[in-house]
Amino acid sequence: MRRFCMAFVLLSSIAAPGVEAAGERLAFVTSVQGTGNLQTWPAANGLSGVAAADAICQTRASSAGLPEANLFVAWVSDGNNDAYCRVHGLTGKRANACGQPILPATAGPWWRLDGRPFADAAPTSLNGDHILNPLNVTELNTVSNALTAFTATSPIGEKDTDFAGCGDWTSASSSAFVAGGRIASTARAWSVGRIVSCNTPTPLYCLQRGTGPALPKFSTRGRVAFLTAHAYSGNLGASPAAQGQTGLAAGDAICRSEAQASSLPRPTTYRAWLSDIGVPAASRFVNDGAWYRLDGQRIAGSLAKLQSGMIESPINLDNDGQYIQSLAAWTGTTASGAPASDNCSGWTNSAAAAGYGVVNTTLAPWTQEADTLSCASQQRIYCLADNDTVFADTF
Protein backbone atom coordinates (compact mmCIF):
# COMPACT_ATOMS: atom_id res chain seq x y z
CA MET A 1 0.00 0.00 0.00
CA ARG A 2 1.08 3.53 -0.67
CA ARG A 3 2.44 5.44 2.34
CA PHE A 4 1.76 9.15 2.67
CA CYS A 5 4.44 11.66 3.51
CA MET A 6 3.16 15.06 2.47
CA ALA A 7 4.62 18.53 2.92
CA PHE A 8 1.96 20.81 4.32
CA VAL A 9 0.84 23.99 2.57
CA LEU A 10 -2.22 25.81 3.78
CA LEU A 11 -4.82 25.98 1.04
CA SER A 12 -5.88 29.40 2.33
CA SER A 13 -2.46 30.76 1.42
CA ILE A 14 -3.20 30.36 -2.29
CA ALA A 15 -4.07 33.68 -3.88
CA ALA A 16 -7.49 34.10 -5.39
CA PRO A 17 -7.86 35.24 -9.01
CA GLY A 18 -6.98 38.87 -9.50
CA VAL A 19 -3.85 38.37 -7.39
CA GLU A 20 -2.98 34.90 -8.67
CA ALA A 21 0.55 33.71 -9.31
CA ALA A 22 1.86 34.67 -12.72
CA GLY A 23 0.67 32.35 -15.45
CA GLU A 24 -1.84 30.31 -13.48
CA ARG A 25 -4.47 28.85 -15.80
CA LEU A 26 -8.07 29.41 -14.78
CA ALA A 27 -11.29 27.48 -15.41
CA PHE A 28 -14.95 28.22 -14.78
CA VAL A 29 -18.49 27.26 -15.68
CA THR A 30 -20.39 30.09 -17.33
CA SER A 31 -22.87 32.04 -15.25
CA VAL A 32 -25.05 32.31 -18.39
CA GLN A 33 -26.90 29.50 -20.13
CA GLY A 34 -28.30 28.82 -23.57
CA THR A 35 -29.38 26.07 -25.93
CA GLY A 36 -27.23 23.75 -28.00
CA ASN A 37 -27.46 26.19 -30.91
CA LEU A 38 -24.60 28.27 -29.55
CA GLN A 39 -24.97 30.98 -32.20
CA THR A 40 -28.14 32.12 -30.42
CA TRP A 41 -26.26 33.02 -27.23
CA PRO A 42 -25.78 36.81 -26.94
CA ALA A 43 -22.10 36.33 -26.11
CA ALA A 44 -21.45 34.26 -29.29
CA ASN A 45 -20.78 37.43 -31.30
CA GLY A 46 -22.55 36.01 -34.35
CA LEU A 47 -20.29 32.95 -34.57
CA SER A 48 -21.49 29.34 -34.68
CA GLY A 49 -20.34 25.91 -33.55
CA VAL A 50 -17.18 25.62 -31.44
CA ALA A 51 -16.14 29.12 -32.50
CA ALA A 52 -19.29 30.41 -30.80
CA ALA A 53 -18.47 28.36 -27.71
CA ASP A 54 -15.01 29.93 -27.46
CA ALA A 55 -16.43 33.40 -28.06
CA ILE A 56 -18.89 32.85 -25.19
CA CYS A 57 -16.07 31.84 -22.86
CA GLN A 58 -13.88 34.75 -23.86
CA THR A 59 -16.72 37.27 -23.58
CA ARG A 60 -17.62 36.04 -20.12
CA ALA A 61 -13.97 36.05 -19.01
CA SER A 62 -13.48 39.58 -20.32
CA SER A 63 -16.65 40.83 -18.63
CA ALA A 64 -15.40 39.38 -15.34
CA GLY A 65 -12.00 41.04 -15.74
CA LEU A 66 -10.05 37.79 -15.91
CA PRO A 67 -6.48 37.96 -17.25
CA GLU A 68 -5.76 36.77 -20.80
CA ALA A 69 -9.46 36.43 -21.54
CA ASN A 70 -8.68 35.67 -25.19
CA LEU A 71 -7.07 32.37 -24.18
CA PHE A 72 -10.23 30.76 -22.83
CA VAL A 73 -11.79 27.95 -24.85
CA ALA A 74 -14.90 25.90 -24.19
CA TRP A 75 -14.59 22.27 -23.13
CA VAL A 76 -16.67 21.04 -26.08
CA SER A 77 -15.93 18.84 -29.06
CA ASP A 78 -17.36 18.61 -32.57
CA GLY A 79 -16.95 16.18 -35.46
CA ASN A 80 -13.52 17.50 -36.39
CA ASN A 81 -12.01 18.77 -33.16
CA ASP A 82 -11.67 17.19 -29.74
CA ALA A 83 -11.73 19.32 -26.60
CA TYR A 84 -8.36 17.90 -25.56
CA CYS A 85 -6.75 19.38 -28.65
CA ARG A 86 -8.62 22.63 -28.29
CA VAL A 87 -7.34 23.34 -24.76
CA HIS A 88 -3.85 22.99 -26.24
CA GLY A 89 -4.67 25.61 -28.88
CA LEU A 90 -4.73 22.93 -31.58
CA THR A 91 -7.28 21.36 -33.91
CA GLY A 92 -7.93 17.75 -34.82
CA LYS A 93 -8.45 14.54 -32.91
CA ARG A 94 -6.76 13.33 -29.74
CA ALA A 95 -6.33 9.87 -31.29
CA ASN A 96 -4.16 11.53 -33.97
CA ALA A 97 -2.13 13.50 -31.40
CA CYS A 98 -3.97 16.68 -32.43
CA GLY A 99 -1.89 16.73 -35.61
CA GLN A 100 1.41 16.71 -33.70
CA PRO A 101 4.21 14.12 -33.70
CA ILE A 102 3.27 13.11 -30.15
CA LEU A 103 0.25 13.82 -27.98
CA PRO A 104 0.62 17.35 -26.60
CA ALA A 105 0.85 17.67 -22.82
CA THR A 106 1.29 21.37 -22.18
CA ALA A 107 -2.14 22.48 -20.91
CA GLY A 108 -2.94 23.31 -17.28
CA PRO A 109 -2.98 22.94 -14.33
CA TRP A 110 -6.24 24.84 -13.84
CA TRP A 111 -7.66 26.76 -10.89
CA ARG A 112 -11.20 27.73 -10.02
CA LEU A 113 -12.00 31.36 -9.32
CA ASP A 114 -12.31 30.69 -5.58
CA GLY A 115 -8.64 29.72 -5.35
CA ARG A 116 -9.16 25.94 -5.32
CA PRO A 117 -7.45 23.75 -7.91
CA PHE A 118 -9.75 22.20 -10.50
CA ALA A 119 -7.38 19.82 -12.28
CA ASP A 120 -3.73 19.01 -12.71
CA ALA A 121 -1.96 19.41 -16.05
CA ALA A 122 -2.98 17.35 -19.08
CA PRO A 123 -2.91 14.50 -19.75
CA THR A 124 -2.77 13.45 -16.07
CA SER A 125 -6.01 15.17 -15.15
CA LEU A 126 -7.73 14.39 -18.45
CA ASN A 127 -6.86 10.72 -18.57
CA GLY A 128 -8.89 9.22 -15.77
CA ASP A 129 -10.21 10.32 -12.41
CA HIS A 130 -7.76 13.03 -11.35
CA ILE A 131 -10.15 15.97 -11.12
CA LEU A 132 -9.44 17.66 -7.78
CA ASN A 133 -12.59 19.74 -7.33
CA PRO A 134 -15.83 20.08 -9.32
CA LEU A 135 -15.92 22.87 -11.91
CA ASN A 136 -19.00 24.47 -10.37
CA VAL A 137 -17.65 28.00 -9.80
CA THR A 138 -18.51 30.67 -12.38
CA GLU A 139 -16.43 33.47 -13.87
CA LEU A 140 -18.06 35.71 -11.26
CA ASN A 141 -16.68 33.52 -8.46
CA THR A 142 -20.15 32.31 -7.53
CA VAL A 143 -21.30 28.70 -7.16
CA SER A 144 -23.48 27.71 -10.11
CA ASN A 145 -26.90 26.25 -9.40
CA ALA A 146 -26.94 24.44 -12.76
CA LEU A 147 -26.73 20.65 -12.76
CA THR A 148 -25.04 20.07 -16.11
CA ALA A 149 -22.70 21.68 -18.63
CA PHE A 150 -22.73 21.00 -22.38
CA THR A 151 -19.63 19.00 -23.40
CA ALA A 152 -20.19 16.28 -26.06
CA THR A 153 -16.82 15.17 -24.72
CA SER A 154 -15.47 12.05 -23.03
CA PRO A 155 -13.44 12.39 -19.82
CA ILE A 156 -10.17 12.11 -21.78
CA GLY A 157 -11.19 14.94 -24.10
CA GLU A 158 -12.46 13.06 -27.15
CA LYS A 159 -15.82 13.64 -28.81
CA ASP A 160 -18.50 11.50 -27.25
CA THR A 161 -19.88 9.19 -29.92
CA ASP A 162 -22.98 7.90 -28.12
CA PHE A 163 -24.90 11.18 -27.98
CA ALA A 164 -23.68 13.43 -30.77
CA GLY A 165 -26.72 15.70 -30.95
CA CYS A 166 -26.97 19.47 -31.34
CA GLY A 167 -25.53 19.22 -34.88
CA ASP A 168 -22.04 20.28 -33.85
CA TRP A 169 -23.58 23.02 -31.72
CA THR A 170 -25.93 24.43 -34.36
CA SER A 171 -29.23 22.81 -33.30
CA ALA A 172 -31.62 23.47 -30.41
CA SER A 173 -33.95 20.59 -31.27
CA SER A 174 -35.84 19.25 -28.28
CA SER A 175 -35.61 15.76 -29.76
CA ALA A 176 -31.80 15.81 -29.97
CA PHE A 177 -29.54 14.99 -27.03
CA VAL A 178 -25.89 15.52 -26.23
CA ALA A 179 -23.50 14.42 -23.49
CA GLY A 180 -23.11 16.78 -20.56
CA GLY A 181 -20.96 16.93 -17.47
CA ARG A 182 -22.25 17.03 -13.91
CA ILE A 183 -20.87 20.30 -12.59
CA ALA A 184 -20.93 19.17 -8.95
CA SER A 185 -18.91 16.03 -9.77
CA THR A 186 -15.31 15.00 -10.22
CA ALA A 187 -13.75 11.94 -11.87
CA ARG A 188 -15.31 11.06 -15.22
CA ALA A 189 -18.74 12.44 -14.46
CA TRP A 190 -17.46 16.03 -14.65
CA SER A 191 -17.33 15.64 -18.45
CA VAL A 192 -19.86 12.88 -19.18
CA GLY A 193 -22.38 12.36 -16.42
CA ARG A 194 -25.75 13.24 -17.95
CA ILE A 195 -27.55 13.42 -21.26
CA VAL A 196 -28.97 16.86 -22.05
CA SER A 197 -31.63 17.96 -24.51
CA CYS A 198 -30.23 20.45 -27.01
CA ASN A 199 -33.23 22.66 -26.22
CA THR A 200 -32.43 22.88 -22.49
CA PRO A 201 -30.67 26.06 -21.29
CA THR A 202 -27.27 24.82 -20.10
CA PRO A 203 -23.91 26.46 -19.29
CA LEU A 204 -20.45 25.77 -20.74
CA TYR A 205 -17.13 24.88 -19.13
CA CYS A 206 -14.32 27.29 -20.00
CA LEU A 207 -10.62 26.42 -19.62
CA GLN A 208 -7.69 28.72 -20.26
CA ARG A 209 -5.10 27.59 -22.79
CA GLY A 210 -1.43 27.47 -21.93
CA THR A 211 0.89 26.04 -19.29
CA GLY A 212 0.79 27.24 -15.71
CA PRO A 213 3.01 26.62 -12.69
CA ALA A 214 2.90 23.14 -11.21
CA LEU A 215 0.42 22.64 -8.40
CA PRO A 216 1.87 22.97 -4.91
CA LYS A 217 1.87 20.04 -2.53
CA PHE A 218 -1.41 20.55 -0.73
CA SER A 219 -2.18 19.27 2.69
CA THR A 220 -4.11 20.14 5.79
CA ARG A 221 -4.10 21.30 9.35
CA GLY A 222 -7.39 19.54 9.91
CA ARG A 223 -8.56 15.97 10.24
CA VAL A 224 -8.31 13.48 7.40
CA ALA A 225 -11.18 11.71 5.66
CA PHE A 226 -10.75 9.00 3.06
CA LEU A 227 -12.65 6.42 1.06
CA THR A 228 -11.61 2.86 1.83
CA ALA A 229 -9.33 1.28 -0.73
CA HIS A 230 -11.31 -1.94 -0.44
CA ALA A 231 -15.02 -2.73 -0.77
CA TYR A 232 -17.14 -4.67 1.70
CA SER A 233 -20.51 -6.35 1.81
CA GLY A 234 -23.16 -4.72 3.98
CA ASN A 235 -22.55 -7.40 6.60
CA LEU A 236 -19.44 -5.57 7.73
CA GLY A 237 -18.52 -8.05 10.43
CA ALA A 238 -17.91 -10.72 7.78
CA SER A 239 -14.69 -8.99 6.72
CA PRO A 240 -11.41 -9.95 8.43
CA ALA A 241 -10.69 -6.18 8.60
CA ALA A 242 -13.59 -5.90 11.09
CA GLN A 243 -11.41 -7.74 13.64
CA GLY A 244 -14.33 -9.67 15.06
CA GLN A 245 -16.58 -6.62 15.52
CA THR A 246 -20.11 -6.34 14.15
CA GLY A 247 -22.40 -3.52 13.06
CA LEU A 248 -21.14 0.05 13.46
CA ALA A 249 -18.15 -1.17 15.44
CA ALA A 250 -17.16 -3.32 12.47
CA GLY A 251 -17.27 -0.25 10.21
CA ASP A 252 -15.00 1.64 12.59
CA ALA A 253 -12.60 -1.30 12.80
CA ILE A 254 -12.42 -1.47 9.00
CA CYS A 255 -11.55 2.24 8.84
CA ARG A 256 -8.84 1.81 11.43
CA SER A 257 -7.42 -1.24 9.68
CA GLU A 258 -7.17 0.61 6.38
CA ALA A 259 -5.70 3.73 8.02
CA GLN A 260 -3.07 1.61 9.74
CA ALA A 261 -2.25 -0.25 6.52
CA SER A 262 -1.51 3.09 4.84
CA SER A 263 0.50 4.41 7.81
CA LEU A 264 -1.83 7.32 8.43
CA PRO A 265 -1.29 9.26 11.66
CA ARG A 266 -3.27 8.09 14.70
CA PRO A 267 -5.05 5.28 12.82
CA THR A 268 -7.04 4.22 15.89
CA THR A 269 -9.04 7.47 15.83
CA TYR A 270 -10.95 6.81 12.59
CA ARG A 271 -14.69 6.17 12.48
CA ALA A 272 -16.96 5.18 9.62
CA TRP A 273 -19.59 7.61 8.31
CA LEU A 274 -22.37 5.12 9.03
CA SER A 275 -25.70 5.37 10.83
CA ASP A 276 -27.92 2.80 12.52
CA ILE A 277 -31.49 3.17 13.72
CA GLY A 278 -31.42 5.83 16.44
CA VAL A 279 -27.70 6.47 15.93
CA PRO A 280 -26.91 9.24 13.41
CA ALA A 281 -23.43 9.09 11.91
CA ALA A 282 -22.46 12.53 13.24
CA SER A 283 -23.43 11.62 16.80
CA ARG A 284 -20.66 9.02 16.84
CA PHE A 285 -17.93 11.69 16.59
CA VAL A 286 -16.50 13.33 19.71
CA ASN A 287 -14.40 15.89 17.85
CA ASP A 288 -15.50 18.29 15.14
CA GLY A 289 -13.81 19.10 11.78
CA ALA A 290 -12.55 20.47 9.52
CA TRP A 291 -11.86 17.35 7.40
CA TYR A 292 -9.57 17.13 4.41
CA ARG A 293 -8.74 14.53 1.80
CA LEU A 294 -5.20 13.20 1.70
CA ASP A 295 -4.44 15.54 -1.21
CA GLY A 296 -5.26 18.53 1.01
CA GLN A 297 -8.64 19.43 -0.45
CA ARG A 298 -11.12 20.43 2.25
CA ILE A 299 -14.24 18.29 2.40
CA ALA A 300 -16.20 20.12 5.08
CA GLY A 301 -15.49 22.54 7.89
CA SER A 302 -17.62 20.87 10.54
CA LEU A 303 -20.08 18.12 11.40
CA ALA A 304 -22.85 20.62 10.71
CA LYS A 305 -21.57 21.05 7.15
CA LEU A 306 -21.54 17.30 6.66
CA GLN A 307 -25.24 17.36 7.51
CA SER A 308 -26.12 20.41 5.39
CA GLY A 309 -26.85 18.62 2.12
CA MET A 310 -23.62 19.77 0.45
CA ILE A 311 -19.89 19.31 1.01
CA GLU A 312 -16.97 21.25 -0.47
CA SER A 313 -15.02 18.44 -2.17
CA PRO A 314 -16.02 14.81 -2.78
CA ILE A 315 -14.60 12.05 -0.60
CA ASN A 316 -13.25 10.16 -3.60
CA LEU A 317 -9.59 9.69 -2.64
CA ASP A 318 -8.78 6.42 -0.94
CA ASN A 319 -6.16 5.68 1.69
CA ASP A 320 -3.87 4.31 -1.04
CA GLY A 321 -3.89 7.69 -2.81
CA GLN A 322 -6.12 6.61 -5.68
CA TYR A 323 -8.96 8.77 -7.03
CA ILE A 324 -12.01 6.53 -7.26
CA GLN A 325 -14.59 6.70 -10.02
CA SER A 326 -16.88 3.95 -8.71
CA LEU A 327 -20.24 5.20 -7.54
CA ALA A 328 -21.07 3.96 -4.10
CA ALA A 329 -20.10 4.05 -0.44
CA TRP A 330 -22.23 2.56 2.33
CA THR A 331 -23.70 5.27 4.57
CA GLY A 332 -27.22 4.50 5.79
CA THR A 333 -27.32 8.25 6.34
CA THR A 334 -29.58 10.91 4.85
CA ALA A 335 -28.48 14.30 3.53
CA SER A 336 -29.47 15.88 6.85
CA GLY A 337 -27.41 13.34 8.77
CA ALA A 338 -30.34 11.29 10.05
CA PRO A 339 -30.31 7.49 9.94
CA ALA A 340 -31.81 6.08 6.75
CA SER A 341 -34.47 3.41 7.04
CA ASP A 342 -32.33 0.79 5.26
CA ASN A 343 -28.97 -0.16 6.76
CA CYS A 344 -28.35 -3.88 6.17
CA SER A 345 -30.13 -4.61 9.47
CA GLY A 346 -27.58 -2.64 11.43
CA TRP A 347 -24.76 -3.62 9.02
CA THR A 348 -25.12 -7.29 9.89
CA ASN A 349 -27.24 -8.76 7.09
CA SER A 350 -26.06 -9.24 3.50
CA ALA A 351 -29.58 -10.26 2.44
CA ALA A 352 -31.04 -6.81 3.21
CA ALA A 353 -30.63 -3.39 1.52
CA ALA A 354 -28.99 -0.14 2.56
CA GLY A 355 -28.70 3.52 1.70
CA TYR A 356 -25.49 4.66 0.08
CA GLY A 357 -23.67 7.74 -1.15
CA VAL A 358 -22.18 8.70 -4.51
CA VAL A 359 -18.46 9.27 -4.01
CA ASN A 360 -17.81 11.81 -6.78
CA THR A 361 -20.33 14.53 -5.96
CA THR A 362 -20.53 17.43 -3.53
CA LEU A 363 -24.35 17.52 -3.54
CA ALA A 364 -26.72 15.66 -1.20
CA PRO A 365 -26.21 12.27 -2.95
CA TRP A 366 -22.67 12.19 -1.52
CA THR A 367 -24.34 10.56 1.50
CA GLN A 368 -27.88 9.79 0.28
CA GLU A 369 -28.68 8.56 -3.20
CA ALA A 370 -32.37 8.15 -4.00
CA ASP A 371 -32.39 4.34 -4.10
CA THR A 372 -30.77 1.54 -2.11
CA LEU A 373 -28.30 -1.24 -2.89
CA SER A 374 -28.31 -4.91 -2.03
CA CYS A 375 -26.19 -5.56 1.02
CA ALA A 376 -24.67 -8.52 -0.82
CA SER A 377 -22.89 -6.06 -3.11
CA GLN A 378 -19.37 -4.86 -2.34
CA GLN A 379 -19.10 -1.13 -1.59
CA ARG A 380 -16.58 1.19 0.01
CA ILE A 381 -16.87 3.16 3.26
CA TYR A 382 -16.16 6.80 4.14
CA CYS A 383 -13.69 7.04 7.04
CA LEU A 384 -13.18 10.24 9.07
CA ALA A 385 -10.60 10.92 11.75
CA ASP A 386 -12.02 11.60 15.22
CA ASN A 387 -8.94 12.90 17.01
CA ASP A 388 -8.59 15.86 19.34
CA THR A 389 -5.63 17.56 17.66
CA VAL A 390 -4.82 18.72 14.16
CA PHE A 391 -1.90 17.21 12.36
CA ALA A 392 1.61 18.55 12.48
CA ASP A 393 3.32 20.15 9.49
CA THR A 394 4.49 16.82 8.09
CA PHE A 395 3.84 13.13 8.51
What does the pLDDT look like over 334-356, one tens digit per residue?
999 999 999 999 999 999 999 99
Q: Looking at domain 22-208, what is its CATH homologous superfamily?
A: Mannose-Binding Protein A, subunit A (3.10.100.10)
Which residues of the chain have a pLDDT value below 70?
1-22, 128-129, 220, 389-395
End-to-end Cα distance, the chain: 16
The pLDDT of residue 389 is: 63
Tell whether omega for the bond before 354 is within 30 degrees of 0, i.e. cis. no
| Type of residue found at 379 | Q
List 385's β-bridge partners, or say none: 270
Q: Which residues contact 12 (CB under 8 A, 6 or more apart)?
A: none
Edge to edge, the sheet with strand 110-111 lists: 72-74, 205-208, 25-29, 110-111, 117-119
The pLDDT of residue 217 is: 82
The pLDDT of residue 257 is: 98
Task: Please state, in angstroms and rounded to a whole number, the distance separating the CA atoms of residues 44 and 34.
Answer: 10
223-385 architecture in CATH?
A: Roll (3.10)
The pLDDT of residue 142 is: 98
Q: What is the DSSP letter of 60?
A: H
Torsion 158-162-163-165 (CA) sign: positive
**Pick from 112, 103, 61: nearest CA to 84:** 103
Where in the sequence of the chain do the CATH 3.10.100.10 domains occur? 22-208, 223-385
The pLDDT of residue 270 is: 98
Task: Please state, in angstroms and rounded to a whole number, the distance separating the CA atoms of residues 85 and 102.
Answer: 12
